[in-house]
Structure 1
């Protein structure tokens, strides 16, 4: 079964909120260096949380025995000014396990075209 879900929120860039949160927690000194550290550690999570469209691709057929109950989802997301199309592996509770591929686009139209092309529409 294949479906496309559109999330009720619009494409909200979580980057601004991240900068504000890091500023509140650690102050202005070294702000962007701290932000970059958070992004390098959590980038797939920011992309997953910023998704506004998704397409179910099927059950994940990973090589390890722990792959049972995981699913492949193609998402269209927005983070740090880019629109991103990414392939994700999630569990039944929609918790991200891994992001197998991602590509950034400068415009929504370009990303939407790639998203639709990737899911066969």
Structure 2
């Protein structure tokens, strides 16, 4: 085995399994973020909606996303599954036709990517600031 191969396997074996607290914290924070973006998407399409419904929408995709990472599943599969769970949650909670559900789901995905990029970039800028 080459030196590079042995150092790569050594790095992989040194990683500890995440604790249940870390998993719950990750799911909780991601669910909160996804609930905020779901509420923004639903307000964009439907107007004034209850915030509590968005809290139900955010949990499913957060669990799918965390499960995809923990089980080392392919990313595109996780994205498709999360979008499907998101659409089902929106359909059940907001009781909208399929076309409106698809629109809310698409806007939810777009808002999530944009807001996630902005917030992530802001955190990176803050963490890399000198002094």
Q: Would you tell me which structure has more helix in proportion to its own residues?
A: 2
TM-score by length of 1: 0.31
TM-score by length of 2: 0.29
